[in-house]
Structure 1
C-alpha cells in the first residue's frame, strides 16, 4: 500500500520506499564514502567557526538526519560548510571571546535563529527572496568570502597567532609580518597534507585524499611527538620582559571580561527601560547608550592591546631546564646559565590563562575531544544579543539557502530530479532548529559532499543518515584517536575546499556583457574584503547596489527616436548614423513599463524629442516595449496628450500590448484620445504618418483602428 500524496508532502522521506537492493547498496557505499570526508571536514569547519572541533561533529549528526528526512533533493548532504562557519564566527566574535562558553552559547543560538528564518521562508514559499541577489553580487561575495576563509587559515599553517579584530585585513597583515617566526615542522605538515590530497586525487581517486591525509599525518604526529605542551606558573618564566607581558595580558583579559559583563547589564537595563511605561525613560536610555559607547570603545582598545601582547609573547623563544628539585624553568634562548643544561628544544608561549602559562615546544594538534553524543538541551536565548545577531542570521539564512539551491540544481541537472526550493528551505530550517537542541551551530548544504554522494551512487537521503551514524560511532569510540591530528592539516583541508570556489571568469564575462553589473560585483568583492570579518555587511551592500541599479534602469529605460537603415530596418537615431523617419512627424520607442517610477522620464523623453524636431506635427509612440502601465503612468500620459495638443501636436500609438490597451480603455483615456490614434502594427502606423504628415496636406483619418475587444499584437 503506497502512502497518500498528502502524507508524502508532510513526510517526504516516504518517497524513498520501497527500497530495492540496488538503492540500498548505492546509499550504503555513498554514505560511508561521504562519512570519510565529513569527519575531517566538520572538525576543520568547527575551528573556522571559532568552536572546539567536537562541535563540528555535533553539527554532522542530528542536522544531517533531519535535513535528509525533510529535504527536497535526495543527494543533498547537509552539515557544516566553510562560508557559514566563517560567517558564524564573524557574527559572534564581537559579542564574546573566541571559544568561550558565551561564544558557544551564542553560536548555537544563531543556528536556531537561522533555522527559524529558513523554516518561515519555506512555509511562506518565499524562496524567491534569493532573487534579490544578482549573479555578479553572489560571485563577488563568494570570491571574497573564499579568500577570507582560506587566508584565515594561514596562521595555523605557520603556527603563529592570528588576532581577531573588526578588521580582517589588518589581522591578516599581523600574520604576514610574523612569517619569520614560522614553525617549520608545522609548515611541513601543511605541505604534506597538500601533496597527499592532490596525489591521491590523481593516483588513487577512489580513496578520499582528505581521509588519507588525516590518517597518515595523525599517525606521524603521534610517532614523532609533534605536540609538546606544558603548563607552568608565571614565576617559572625566567625573563622579566616575558613576565611583564604575561602579567599585563592576564590583567587586561580580566578587565575585558568585566567590561563584557558590564555592557551586557547595560544592554539589559536599556531593554527594560524601553519596554517600561515611563516618560523619563528616553533620557535614561540616551545616558546608558553614551556609557555603552564609552565602554565598548575601551573594551576594543584593551583587546587590541592584548593582541599586541599575544604576538610579542609568541615571538619570544625559550629553553627548558629541569632543576634538581624537579622544577620546570624556562630561560630566554641564549640566556641559560652555564651551569645548567637545557633539553635542546625551542619553546614558545602559546597561551596565558591567569597566572598559568602554556608553553609549546612543538606544533598545535586537535587535542582531547569529548567522547559521547551531544545531549538534548534547549538553546539558551540571550535576548540582549538577539537584534545584534538578527541581520547576520537573515543573511546567513539566505546565503545558505542560495548555496543549497545552487548545489541542488547542479546535481538535479544530472540526476533529473525535481527540486522544490521551498521544501528545501523547510528541510534546512528544521535541520538547524533541531540541531540547535543538540549543540549544533549553523549548517547548510555542502557542494563537495553532495557531489561525492551523487558520484558514488546515492539514490535516497538514507545515505546521509548512514554518514551521520558513522559520525555517531566516531563520537562514541574514536575521539581518542584524533588527539594528535595537527591543526595545520585541518587548515589545509579548509583552504583547498574554499579556494575551489573562487571564480574570476564569471566577473570577466559579466564585464563583457554589462559593465554596470560587473562593477557592482567588483564593489561587493572589495567591500566584503574591507568589511571582513562582518561578511554580512558586504553582501548587503552588494544587494543594495544591485537593487539601486535595477531602479535606475527602471527609471531610465532605453528610449530613442527611430530612423531607417539602408537595408530598411529600424534603428535608434542616437546610436546609429540614420536620419529620423519623417520631417513632420517623430517615431519614439520607449522600452519599459510606464509606471510611477519612470512616468516623468516618459514625459521628458517626448518633450526632448519635440524640442529636437520643432517642425513635427505628430508623435508616434512605438509601444511594443511597454509591458504594463499603472495609474501614475496613465495620468502622466493624459498630461502629455493635453500639453502636445495645446501646441498643435497629436500623439499616436502603435503595437501596444493587449494588457496596456485594456488598461487605457478601462481608464477611459479614449474620451481624450479616440481609438483612431491607436494602430495595430508599426508598419501600418509609419505608412499612415508619412502619407498624412509628410505630404503637407491636412491630416487624413487613420486606418481602421483596433477596437476595445480586439487583441492588440506587439
Structure 2
C-alpha cells in the first residue's frame, strides 16, 4: 500500500469510528443489551469481516435492524438486560455466523434471489418504523411493556404521555433537531459524535441523573408502597417460575437421554410456562401502574426521611426499579451509567440446547436478512467504484465475523450502509480502514468509557431514530405499484404483516416471501395468452384487449408468453380451445412460440392431445418462432411428424405470409 493510500485509510477509519462508537452503543440498547456489548460488537468482528470479506468498502458491525430482530427473538426466553438474555444474544450471533459461513462455503449466495424487491421494500419500511417507534418510551422516559404485540406495547407507551419526563424529551428533541440540521448544513461533520459529546457534557453539568434508593417503609404513600411491593413480589415470583421452568427443562432432557418417559414433568412444564406468560403480562401492567405515582421527599432537619404523594405541579420522583427490600426512585433522566473498561476474556459461547432449536428459525431469517442488506450495500458501492464483488466470499467474511465475535461476547453484526457510505466518502482505499475503526473502538473501551457515564439514553434513542427513519422509502413502494400492481400489493402486505407481527419481524418477511412465491406461481400457471389482431400501425396486438378485428376468419393467431410446463399445460389447452371456439370457420391455429423458453413432458403430451383433437375437427395446429431447445424437445417427443414439419415456421412473418397465401388459394379455388 502506498503512503497516500495508508493515509487515506487512516482518515477514513477514524471518520467511521466517530460514527461507529456512539452508534454501536445505541444499537446495543435496541438489542436489549448493556451498551458495552455494542462496543464489543464494534471491535473484533469489524476487523474479521474486513480481512475475510470481498468488499473493501463494506463496514460490518452492529446495525439497527438486526439489533431489534435479535432482541425480539430472545425476548420470549429471557428478560432484556439479564445474564440469560446476554448469553442467548451471544449464542444467537454464533448460530447466525455458522449459517452464513455454511452458505458461503457451499456457495449459496444465490439464496438472496428468493427475496423479491417488493418484499424487501415492504419489510425495510416497516422495520424502520418499528425500530424508531420502539424507542419512544426511552425518548419520553416511561416504561414499555414487553408482549407479543408491538402495536399493543406502543399504544401503552402513547397512553403514558401525560407521565413523560420533559427534561428527557428536551434532550431527545434537541438531539434530533441537531442531527437533522447537521445532516443538511454540514453532512461531512461527525454530527453523531458531536451530539454525544454535547449531550454528555450538558447532562453532567446540570446533574441530569438524580436517583435515590429508598426502603419500602420510606414510601409514606400507602397506595404507592403497596403498588411497589406488589411489583417486587411479581418480579420475584416470575424469576422463581422461570428458574423452575429452566430446571424442569434440564430434568426432561436428562430423562430423555436415559430413555425415560416422565409425563408428570411435561404437565408441570406446560403449567409453569402458562404461569410465566400470565406473570409477564401482570408485571407489564404493574410496571406502568407503579410509574404513574409521583412522589416528593419529606425532610426532617435537612435529611430526607421518606417520600409522600407529590402535589399537582410539584417536581416529583418516579420509580425506576424495585428490589426485594428497596425501591430505586429517580427525579432526573436515564443515563448510560457505568461501562466496564477493557475487553472481555475470550470464551466459547454457552449453547443452550433447549432454546437453540426454537431460535433456529430466527437465526436463519436474521442470517438471510442481514446478508441481503449487506449485499445491497456492497453492490451499490462496488458499482460506484467498479469493484468486483464475490457474494459467497462476503458470506464467509460475515459468518466468521459473527463466529469470532461471539467468542469475544459480541452479538449479531452485519454490513452498515451509513458507515460504509462514510468510508467511501472519506476516501477509503482498502479494507484496512475498517481495522483502523476497530482499533479506535478498542482504545475507547480502554480509555474513554468513564467519560460516557452521563450520556443520556434519550440521546442514543435520537441517534437510532435519525438513522432508521431515513430508511423509510414510500416512493419506492408507490413506484412498485405503478410498475406492477401485484408487486405493489406484495410490498404493502409485507409492510402491514411486519407491523402486525412485530416484534416477530421474521414473520413479516416469511409472509412476503410466501406471497411473492404465490404471485409467481399464479403468473406461471396463467401466463399471457392472447389472440392477435392487426393494430392501425400494422403491428400485431391483442384482439380482445384492443378491440381489434381478427386477422382472418380462416385462421387464428395465438401468442403464448411462457414456458410450457406442467403447471400451465391445462391453461394452454384451454386458451387454444377457446380461440378455436371463437372462430368456428378457422382451419388453422398458429401458436407464436417465441416466448416458450422451455417445454417438459407434460407440455409435449398436451400438444399431442391438442393436435389430435383439432385434426379430427378439421383444424391444423401450427407453431412459429420456436427456440432450438424447444424444437429439439419436439423432435425427441415425436411431435414433428405428428404436426408436420411444414407446420413449424421459423418466425411469425413467414407463418403469416404462408397462411395468407393458403387463404387466398382457398378463396380462388372453384366451388365443388
- TM-score, normalised via structure 1 length: 0.90
Structure 2: gaps (5+ residues): none
Match of 1:368 in 2: 338
Aligned counterpart for 1:66 among listed residues 32, 43, 48: 48
Question: Where do residues 149-188 of structure 1 align in structure 2 (5 Å cutoff)?
Answer: 149-188=131-170
Give 1:132's aligned residue: 114
**410, 420, 423: which is aligned to 1:453?**
423
User: Which of 352, 358, 375 does residue 388 from structure 1 map onto?
Assistant: 358
Moved more, 164-173 or 255-264: 255-264
How far did 1:695 drift? 5.0
- CA distance in 1 between counterparts of 2:132 and 2:632 reads 57
State the distance in 1 between where 2:62 and 2:122 align: 22
* Cα drift, residue 272 of structure 1: 6.2
Query: For 2:354, what is the secondary structure of its paired residue?
Result: helix
Verify the 8 A CA contact 2:557 2:590 in the aligned structure 1.
yes
Q: Using the alignment, how far apart are the partners of 1:296 and 1:96 within structure 2? A: 13
1:138-149 maps to which residues of 2 (within 5 A)? Answer: 138-149=120-131
Contact 1:371 1:476 in 2 (8 A): yes
- From 282, 295, 305, the equivalent of 1:305 is 282
Match of 2:522 among 537, 540, 552: 552
Match of 1:665 in 2: 635
2:563 and 2:249 map into 1 onto residues whose CA distance is 48
Distance between the aligned counterparts of 2:248 and 2:497, measured in 1? 32
Aligned residue pairs total: 668
Partner of 1:709: none
Q: What aligned pairs does 1:287-306 form with structure 2 within 5 A after superposition? A: 292-306=269-283
- Matching of residue 243 in structure 1 with residue 225 in structure 2: yes
Structure 1, 655-664 or 193-202: larger mean CA deviation: 193-202
Let me know the Cα RMSD of the aligned residues.
2.1
| Structure 1 position 414 matched with structure 2 position 391 | no
Partner residue of 1:93 out of 68, 75, 92: 75
Per the TM alignment, residue 84 of structure 1 is displaced from its structure 2 partner at its CA by: 0.3
Using the alignment, how far apart are the partners of 1:681 and 1:203 within structure 2?
61
Q: Hey, what does 2:13 align to over in structure 1?
A: 31
> Is the Cα–Cα contact under 8 Å of residues 585 and 694 in structure 1 kept in the other structure?
no
2:612 equivalent to 1:642 = yes
Aligned residue in 2 for 1:690: 660
- Cα displacement string for residues 562-610 of structure 1 (whole angstroms, at most 9, x for unaligned residues): 1112322111112112122221221111100001111111111111112
Aligned partner of 1:572 among 542, 552, 570: 542
CA positional deviation for 1:203? 4.7
Q: Report the equivalent of 2:31.
A: 49
Distance in 2, matches of 1:88 and 1:290, equals 30
Aligned to 1:331: 308
- Following superposition, the deviation at residue 648 of structure 1 comes to 2.5
CA contact (8 A) 1:348 1:361 kept: yes
The correspondence for 1:609, drawn from 579, 591, 594, is 579
The alpha-carbon deviation at position 258 of structure 1 amounts to: 3.0
2:286 and 2:433 mapped to 1: Cα distance? 49
Residue in structure 2 matched with residue 705 of structure 1 by the alignment: none
1:476 maps to 2:450: no
Q: Structure 1 residues 615, 356: closer, same or farther in 2, change over 3 A?
A: same
Distance 1:200 1:684, change over 3 A: closer
Task: Return closer, same or farther for 1:698/1:532 CA change in 2, 3 Å cut-off.
Answer: farther
Alignment of 1:180-579 (within 5 A): 180-267=162-249, 292-323=269-300, 328-334=305-311, 345-579=315-549
What secondary structure does 2:643 align onto?
coil
- Contact 1:232–1:328 at 8 Å: present in 2 too? no
Quick one: distance in 1 between partners of 2:180 and 2:291? Answer: 32
Provide closer, same or farther for how the CA distance between residues 238 and 570 of structure 1 changes in structure 2, counting only shifts above 3 A. Answer: same
**Offset at 1:232?**
2.1
1:531 positional shift: 0.5
Range that drifts further, 181-190 or 632-641 = 632-641
In structure 1, how many angstroms separate the alpha carbons of the residues matched to 2:230 and 2:290? 11
Q: Does 1:84 align with 2:66?
A: yes
Aligned equivalents of 2:266 and 2:574: distance in 1? 49
C-alpha distance in structure 1 between counterparts of 2:641 and 2:241, whole Å: 73
Greater alpha carbon shift after TM alignment, 172-181 vs 266-275: 266-275
In structure 2, C-alpha distance between the alignment counterparts of 1:38 and 1:427, rounded to whole Å: 19
Task: Provide, for residues 159-194 of structure 1, a one-character-per-residue CA deviation record: whole Å limited to 9, x for no partner.
Answer: 111111110011111111111111111111112212
Shift of 1:681: 1.6
Q: How far apart, CA to CA, are the structure 1 residues paired with 2:595 and 2:268?
A: 58
Deviations along 1:87-145, one digit per CA (max 9) or x if unpaired, are 00000001111111111111111111111111111111111111111111111100000
Structure 1 residues without counterparts, runs of 5 or longer? 1-18, 336-343, 700-714
Cα distance in 2 between the residues matched to 1:610 and 1:75: 60
- 1:152–1:172: 8 Å Cα contact kept in structure 2? yes
Greater alpha carbon shift after TM alignment, 230-239 vs 368-377? 230-239
More divergent stretch after superposition (201-210 vs 350-359): 201-210
User: Does residue 1:119 correspond to 2:96, yes or no?
Assistant: no
CA distance in 1, matches of 2:575, 2:21: 63
222-231 vs 686-695, greater mean Cα deviation: 686-695
Q: Counterpart of 1:619?
A: 589
- The alignment partner of 2:594 has SS state of helix
Q: CA deviation at 1:270?
A: 6.0
Q: Deviations over 1:478-506 (max 9, x none)?
A: 11100000000000000000000000000
Q: Tell me, yes or no, if the aligned pair for 2:101 and 2:397 is still in contact at 8 Å.
A: yes
